[in-house]
Amino acid sequence: MSFRASFITLYPEAFPGPLGVSILDRAREDGLWSLDLVELRDFGLGKHRQVDEKPAGGGAGLVLRPDVAAAAIDSLPKDNRPIIYPSPRGVPFSQEIAQNWTSGEGIVFFCGRFEGLDERVIEARNMIEVSLGDYVLAGGEVAAMAMLEATLRLMPGVAGNHASVEDESFSGGLLEYPQYTLPRLWEGRETPSVLTSGDHKRVDEWRNQQSKALTKARRPDLWAAFPHGPELRASETDDEHD
Q: Which residues bind ligand SAM (CB under 6 A)?
A: 86-89, 111-113, 115-116, 131-133, 135-140, 143
- Report the distance separating Cα 55 and Cα 5, nearest Å: 30
Considering the complex, state which of residue 44 and residue 140 has its C-beta at the smaller distance from ligand SAM: 140
Three state DSSP letters for the chain = CCEEEEEEECCHHHCCHHHHCHHHHHHHHCCCEEEEEEEHHHHCECCCCECEECCCCCCCCCEECHHHHHHHHHCCCCCCCCEEEEEEEEEECCHHHHHHHCCCCEEEEECCCCCCECHHHHHHCCCEEEECCCCCCCCCHHHHHHHHHHHHCCCCCCCCCHHHHHCCCCCCCCCCCCCCCCCCEECCEECCHHHHCCCHHHHHHHHHHHHHHHHHHHCHHHHHHCCCCCCCCHHHHHCCCC
- Strand partners of residue 37: 7
Query: Could you give the CA distance from residue 15 to residue 160 in angstroms, rounded to a whole number?
Result: 23
Work out how close the CB of 10 gets to ligand SAM at its nearest, in angstroms, rounded to a whole number. 10
- The minimum distance between CB 58 and ligand SAM, in angstroms, equals 14
CB of residue 110 vs ligand SAM: minimum separation in angstroms? Answer: 8
Q: How far is the CB of 182 from ligand SAM (least distance, A)?
A: 38
Number of Cβ within a 10 Å radius of residue 217: 13
Q: How far is the CB of 138 from ligand SAM (least distance, A)?
A: 6
CB of 146 to ligand SAM, least distance (A): 9
Task: Give the nearer residue to ligand SAM in terms of CB position, either 59 or 77.
Answer: 59
Among residues 134 and 242, whose Cβ is nearest to ligand SAM? 134
Q: Which residue is nearest to ligand SAM (CB)?
A: 112
Pick the closer one to ligand SAM by CB: 1 or 136.
136
88 or 172: CB nearest ligand SAM: 88
Nearer to ligand SAM (CB atom), residue 55 or residue 178: 55
The nearer residue to ligand SAM, 91 or 225, going by C-beta atoms, is 91
Q: How far is the CB of 81 from ligand SAM (least distance, A)?
A: 18
